[in-house]
Amino acid sequence: MVQVQSLPFVGDVGATYSLKESFLHYVWQFQYFNSSGLCTEEGEPVAVFATGFHNKHAGPDFVQARVKIDGMEWVGCVELHIYGSDWEAHRHADDAAYENVVLHVVWENDKPARRADGSLIPTVVLRNRIHSGLVLRYKTFMHSPDHIPCASSLDRVAGIFRLSMAERAFAGRLEEKAAVVMGLLQRNRGDWEETCYQLLARSFGFKINAEPFQRLALSLPYRVLRRHGNKLSQIEALLFGQAGFLELRRGQWPDVYTDVLRREYSFLSKKYGLLSGRLERAEWKFLRMRPANFPTLRIAQFASLLMYRQNIFSCIMEAENLEALRELFRVKQSDYWRQHYSLGSVSQEDVSALGDASIDALLINAVVPLLVAYGKSQDEPMLVDRAVSILEKMEPEANSVTRRWSALGWEAENAVESQGMLELYNNFCLKRRCLDCTIGASLLKPMPA
């Protein structure tokens, strides 16, 4: 146990309003407080033999703790609050899950905590037992103007702490993405091909148009497109029509290609009852976007993928390595879309097919989570290993987040690490979850007295 000196608080260092319960959880879990002469509010001596296991679910904060209070040893739960009155405010006395609380730990005890039968719960106050330096460092992190709270201190963190946190964040990110896939699968009643199609559609939106792409896939079932899998013009008609791009705007005169699509969609949409789910063109974003990323071109590329790689989920499962997967997505859009970025507007230069960077983004955001989800659902760990191996062989992503880390001297070596850094930034740094982060916890750790 690290013994820390008890110092009086000065100014707003000890102010309660800016503290969160997570800080008390951290202090309790690692016993970063002065335990000398520890006693309850009633003056009963307290000794902590085991802090218990941090409970991340409903119920008391720590379970299976072991403490001695006034000479009697107890095994049970510990509940922590900023204020003692939070026990009553949270109605814990009415919740059977809290009947086994043997110790109440608070920053400030403004009101005693009582069980349903009126008996007092032993309470320990930590306000004057935590070193003011630890509180100040915590508040500095919480109120840092930087997106990365520890930006000014990151160079003091050993590489092993950074790497372990990136790996942990990556594992959590992969689990979350796999859970999204399983949620889609459940809604699709176990249809992996439909699920794969919807997941790929969202990924073809490349963040900016992910939402309308997903709605497009939900309104246009894959089974409908598969019935027309041998005719690219009909696949394009269904996709562009359902996306809302075939509706004539004022003053617009369609070219021959657009007119063919409009006639095809008019017939097919009525045949399959698609009109009620059709999107509006206004739902798609073009502003401040390079033509190569226009949603119209992405739809054309998606259409070619669906035609030339029928039963796309099966194709992905059969691809055994990174290069095989990349080759799977190397398909050229139709002749029209090699000369156009949008309907009716001829490009001054040839329009490229899906680029390598875009293909890798699809693999990261759709294919890898799909492999992990399928591997877990079928109890085939080799598929999960394949997914991780694919990311290990890929170059790290280059985006605004990885550039932030790079500016602080932390360069990702591969896509596994860059994915971990993205998760760390989005789910820990921006949410100020420094106490849940190996890096933040190492910087906040008090020095031995």
Q: Residues 118-158: pLDDT tens digits?
A: 999 999 999 989 988 888 888 888 888 899 999 999 999 98
* pLDDT value, residue 442: 86
Does the pLDDT at position 370 exceed 50? yes
Position 448 confidence tier, pLDDT thresholds 50, 70, 90 = low
User: For residue range 204-246, what is the model confidence (pLDDT) as tens digits?
Assistant: 999 899 999 999 999 999 999 999 988 999 999 999 999 999 9
Q: Cα-atom radius of gyration of the chain, to the nearest Å? A: 29
Does the pLDDT at position 183 exceed 50? yes
Annotate 126-164 with DSSP letters as a single string.
-TTTS-HHHHHHHHHHHT-SSSSTTTTTGGGS-HHHHHH
CA distance 67 to 105: 12
Q: Which of 99, 81, 95, 79 is nearest to 16 (CA)?
A: 81
Which bin fits 15, alpha (ψ -120 to 50), beta or left (φ > 0)?
beta
DSSP β-ladder status, 53-54 and 46-50: unpaired
User: For residue range 342-363, what is the model confidence (pLDDT) as tens digits?
Assistant: 998 898 899 999 999 999 999 9
* pLDDT value, residue 251: 58
pTM across the whole model: 0.81
Annotate 316-337 with DSSP letters as a single string.
HHH--SHHHHHHHT--PPPGGG
Does the pLDDT at position 7 exceed 50? no
**Average pLDDT for residues 35-53, to the nearest whole number?**
95
CA distance 265 to 446: 67
**Average pLDDT for residues 86-95, to the nearest whole number?**
94
